[in-house]
């Protein structure tokens, strides 16, 4: 890897920066998934982070690393919800002004949650990409700093702190199943785990319709796709045609990418509710869906699953639990 790349040291630096705001989340065994798969399965509870997802880690690492003059001008971001919430939360904590640009597709519960954080929410366009163009206009006009949802070394290193916690809490780990969209989460985790031991399998999981990273890897370069309606709405969005970090890192570090159906995502959400008494959002449930779908062919002996977030609208969750006996 090139010298301008993100290193394990960056991830340790992130860990020391974000400790005041992000939790070292619990890792719990899943008896149910162990009996279904015949192997040890552990759940990393990122849905317990204060803003309901792991996005707090990257946002905190980035915002706490800004120069004083950048903090004074304020920050802006684009988000399907969880990243925007995390940025707003950290910015409030650090007394930095935050603007959040989102598309019309973002669910109402996430818009309301964002507005409650004190951030200025700007709704513009039909896709994440259109909302991003609005953010870049604000950067030019007002000198704001972009807090990118995934394609930024500080964001990747922040999400990578999950990898350090996995190594501390489950030193025998041989497989990690990680939700995948823009790839900040899996790039950071894979960097930590593969640096510790390149034999640890790191597998990305996404929804069947609209996984841009999967199709980009197939095409050999970043591509664009239309967004689809999915229970895993936090996994929607492009990777950027001029992607700088995550496309290359996923290409180099990730062993496989698996796509799961809406049916399996719903069944996975119901399983987590039934057996673990927790509500996980669709994006967070995709690794469980991958196990249920039988697509993880050689699962290893000690699998860690990242339950990446819990921000699901109550009506959607109740409908799924009714249909799937949750």
Ligand X SMILES: *Cc1c(COP(=O)(O)O)cnc(C)c1O
Catalytic residues: 55, 308
Residue nearest to ligand X (CB): 309
Conformation bin of residue 189: beta by default, left when phi > 0, alpha when psi is -120 to 50: alpha
Residue 146 pairs in a beta bridge with 76
H/E stretch holding 60 reads helix 55-64
Q: Quick check: 184 binds ligand X (CB under 6 A)? A: yes
Taking the complex as a whole, the smallest distance from the CB of residue 281 to ligand X amounts, in Å, to: 6
Q: Quick check: 308 binds ligand X (CB under 6 A)? A: yes
* Residues in contact with ligand X, shown as a per-residue x/- string from 234 to 263 under the rule CB under 6 A: xx----------------------------
Give the integer Cα–Cα distance in Å for 168 and 174: 13
Torsion of the alpha carbons at 78, 87, 241 and 175, rounded to the nearest 10: -130
* Residues in contact with ligand X, shown as a per-residue x/- string from 163 to 182 under the rule CB under 6 A: ----------------xxxx
Q: Quick check: 44 binds ligand X (CB under 6 A)? A: no
Please say whether the beta carbons of 260 and 287 come within 8 A.
no
Of residues 39, 49, 51, 82, which one binds ligand X by CB under 6 A? Answer: 82
Query: Measured in Å, how far apart are the chain's first and last C-alpha atoms?
Result: 46
Taking the complex as a whole, the smallest distance from the CB of residue 51 to ligand X amounts, in Å, to: 10
> Token pair of 301, please?
């002996």
User: Which one of 126-134, 253-261, 277-285, 317-325 is the stretch in contact with ligand X (CB under 6 A)?
Assistant: 277-285
Q: What burial class does residue 32 get, using C-beta atoms within 10 Å of its C-beta: 0-12 exposed, 13-18 middle, 19+ buried?
A: middle
Give the integer Cα–Cα distance in Å for 266 and 260: 10
Q: Quick check: 210 binds ligand X (CB under 6 A)? A: no
Contacts of 293 (CB under 8 A, 6+ apart): 258, 260, 261, 264
Taking the complex as a whole, the smallest distance from the CB of residue 272 to ligand X amounts, in Å, to: 13
Using the minimum distance from each CB to ligand X, give the nearer residue, 39 or 284: 284
Q: How many Cβ atoms from other residues are within 10 Å of residue 142's Cβ?
A: 12
Using the minimum distance from each CB to ligand X, give the nearer residue, 165 or 281: 281
Q: Quick check: 45 binds ligand X (CB under 6 A)? A: no
Q: Quick check: 287 binds ligand X (CB under 6 A)? A: no
Phi and psi angles of residue 245, each rounded to the nearest 5 degrees, phi first: -120, -50
Q: Quick check: 281 binds ligand X (CB under 6 A)? A: yes
Using the minimum distance from each CB to ligand X, give the nearer residue, 33 or 185: 185
Q: Quick check: 284 binds ligand X (CB under 6 A)? A: yes
Interaction site with ligand X (CB under 6 A): 53, 55, 82-83, 150, 179-186, 234-235, 281, 283-284, 308-309
């Amino acid at each position: 890897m090139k010298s301008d790349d993100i290193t394990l040291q960056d991830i340790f630096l992130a860990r020391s920066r974000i400790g005041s705001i992000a939790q070292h989340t619990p890792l719990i065994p899943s008896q149910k998934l162990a009996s279904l798969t015949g192997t040890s399965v552990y759940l990393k509870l990122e849905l317990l982070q204060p803003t309901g997802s792991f996005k707090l880690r990257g946002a905190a690492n980035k915002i706490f690393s800004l120069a004083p003059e950048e903090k004074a001008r304020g920050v802006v971001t684009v988000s399907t919800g969880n990243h925007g919430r995390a940025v707003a939360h950290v910015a409030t904590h650090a007394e930095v002004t935050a603007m959040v640009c989102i598309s019309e597709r973002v669910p109402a519960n996430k818009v309301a949650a964002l507005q409650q954080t004190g951030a200025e929410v700007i709704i513009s366009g039909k896709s994440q990409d259109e909302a991003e163009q609005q953010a870049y206009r604000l950067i030019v006009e007002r000198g704001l700093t972009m807090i990118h949802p995934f394609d930024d070394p500080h964001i990747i290193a922040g999400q990578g702190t999950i990898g350090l916690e996995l190594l501390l809490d489950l030193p025998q780990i041989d497989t990690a199943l990680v939700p995948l969209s823009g790839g900040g989460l899996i790039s950071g985790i894979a960097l930590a785990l593969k640096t510790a031991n390149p034999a640890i399998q790191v597998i990305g999981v996404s929804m069947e319709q609209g996984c841009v990273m999967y199709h980009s890897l197939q095409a050999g370069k970043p591509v664009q796709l239309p967004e689809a309606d999915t229970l895993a709405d936090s996994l929607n969005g492009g990777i950027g045609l001029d992607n700088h970090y995550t496309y290359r890192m996923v290409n180099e570090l990730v062993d496989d990418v698996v796509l799961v159906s809406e049916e399996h995502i719903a069944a996975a959400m119901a399983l987590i509710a039934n057996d673990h008494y927790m509500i996980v959002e669709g994006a967070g449930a995709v690794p469980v869906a991958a196990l249920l779908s039988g697509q993880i062919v050689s699962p290893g002996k000690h699998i860690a699953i990242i339950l990446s977030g819990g921000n699901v609208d109550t009506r959607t969750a109740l409908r799924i639990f009714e249909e799937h006996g949750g």
